[in-house]
Amino acid sequence: MFDIVFQHADFIIIHKPCGISVHKDDQALGLTTLVAQQLNLPQVWLVHRLDKVTSGLLILALNKQAAATLSGLFADHRIEKTYLALSSEKPKKKQGRIVGDMQKSRNGTWKLCQSKENPAITRFSSLSCEPNLRLFILFPQTGKTHQLRVAMKSLGSPILGDELYGGNKQKSDRTYLHCYQLKFTYKDQQINVKTLPKTGKFFTALSVQEKIQQWERENNCEKPQ
């Protein structure tokens, strides 16, 4: 059973656990099939993606028209996304922007280039939680494959537990990347949904929870739906 964080007549927003692929993958039933069965519907539509290792908010459309509308909002970058990530490595800079084209590399990885013809753009800020543990708040302005994982590696702070991008210097119980907030307007309705990570000993640690709350206070974040 997936946790439904927000329900609308045209779509739902679920909390996707880490370790579950949005595609069928090697599982007997894909995520969309499982959600459709849970809702007792013939079909639901995927309108964006989260990596298998990433947890958090995932929108699923409940009809074809909504799927087209929501896909359009994502394509036009009109859905504001906020992610949380943890790293054990100190970044080159504590906040700012990471901009660059992305190019396919080896073993299914991507790399950030100096060129900026069709760049991946990520804004970020970070807070120290405790020695060798830093919270990153990531705001992707584009939606490229592995964008945030590559951006974090380029900062010298690969995401904790991200074996693909070198964040495995210490043993970890998960990849510490989580889609925390989605904000957008749908048919004149303001949608603002948040969900905290539910798994991972570092995400649920008091020092990290306190820094998330501190960042919320300092940025006067609106109350979610």
Beta bridge partners of 181: 82, 194
> Per the structure block, which two tokens stand in for 55?
């947890």
Three-class DSSP category at 17: coil
> Per the structure block, which two tokens stand in for 182?
């989605």
Sign of the dihedral through C-alpha 84, 21, 184, 124: positive
Three-class DSSP category at 197: coil
Q: Catalytic: which of 10, 26, 51, 162?
A: 51
Ramachandran bin of 188, using left for φ above 0, alpha for ψ from -120 to 50, beta for the remaining angles: left
CA distance 175 to 178: 9
- 51 has catalytic annotation: yes
**Cβ 189 vs Cβ 93: under 8 Å:** no
Amino acid in the structure at residue 115: S
List the catalytic residues.
Answer: 51
